[in-house]
Amino acid sequence: MDEDGQVVGIVAETKDGEILRFAARKGVILASGGFEWNKQLVKAFLKAEFTHPVTPPGNEGDALLMAMKAGAALENMSEAWWYPAMVDPTFEYEDNVMAQLGGGRNGPNSIIVNKYGRRFVHEGTTYNDMPRAFFNYDPVKVEFPNKGPNWMIFDQQLKDSELIITMAPGDPAPEWVDQADTIRELAEKIGVDPDGLEMEIQKWNEYCEQGEDPDFHRGTIQFEALTNGGGSPEKNLGKIEKGPFYALPIYLGALGTNGGPKINENGQVVNFNGEPIKGLYAAGNASGNPLGPIYPSAGGTIGPAMVFGFLAGQHAANS
């Protein structure tokens, strides 16, 4: 920034330690993603810490830190694009085990339970809304019972019929999928309350016979059409009864953070008085999401990035 408080360029350092300076006559546009791989920022701002982002590990909040130094106001900082992360531990990128955008988590012959063996959420709701149940607080037990890892419990019927992250129908179960001949043995193997899980499976199977899930209403929402072909009990309720039985951990993950420097209608970063910081723009996950905590549809991260990236570039070019 110059003496008048205008952003006039950037200073960068190469991996070899060389300092580079770039002048920017029209302005600087921050578009380097969120801060989901920066553990300090995640702990400082988010309402829950996730363990498995599904984004490139370079998203460490560089734009956020630079904007804060420039006096930017912040917006939507406690929110992320939440995702129930399923992990094949053999899949790595830049020495990091990466979560997959996998399917199968709400297949008909499956449920998701916490450490008590209890269901706590509609398994088939949107991938942004479902993980919000992971950070529910129990004031009686004084804990976060769904903090995780939580567990997808399923039987041989689902394994034979659906792709579950990287495990295709007919494939032998890999080492990272726990299996057992009985529900109790499976619970003991994964450290879940055996009595709780047996009771939950029994109740689930009864609901399947009745054709209705009074606890969380599986088979009633249209979003389930994306995975199971429709929001109906017939397509979403299936007994867990054919062994062997399987368990796959599900972690709190994210498609990225959606908080950051606050921007105006031109994509300009503003200060705490709402005044534009001259020469500084932001777009995408490098800015505070204008939709707040709402995830309207698939591509919810892409739309704002395209729109405000265009508006920021247009405004900078005409300034």
130 touches 250 (CB < 8 A): no
In our burial notation (b when 16+ CB lie closer than 10 A, e otherwise), range 5-42 reads eebeeeeeeeeeeeeeeeeeeebbbbbbbbbbbbeebb
User: What residue type is assigned to position 214 of the chain?
Assistant: P
pLDDT in the model for residue 165: 86
Q: pLDDT value at position 136?
A: 93
209 — phi, psi (to 5°)?
-65, -40
Rounded to two decimals, what is the model's pTM? 0.90
Across the chain, which distance is largest between two alpha carbons, in Å? 73
Distance set, CA 295 to CA 52, 69, 95, 114, 291 (Å): 19, 29, 30, 25, 8
Per-residue pLDDT, 9: 95
In the prediction, which pLDDT does 102 show?
66
Separation CA 310–CA 314 (nearest Å): 6
9-82+258-318 folds as FAD/NAD(P)-binding domain (3.50.50)
All residue ranges of the chain with pLDDT < 50 are none
Domain boundaries, the chain: 9-82+258-318, 100-253
Architecture label for domain 100-253:
Alpha-Beta Complex (3.90)
What's residue 73's pLDDT?
98
Say if 9-82+258-318 and 100-253 have the same CATH topology: no
Residue 106: per-residue pLDDT: 85
pLDDT tens digit sequence for 99-109: 887 667 888 99
pLDDT at 52: 87
- Backbone dihedral angles phi then psi of residue 312, each to the nearest 5 degrees: -65, -45
Contacts for 163 with CB less than 8 Å, ≥ 6 apart? 102, 103, 104, 169
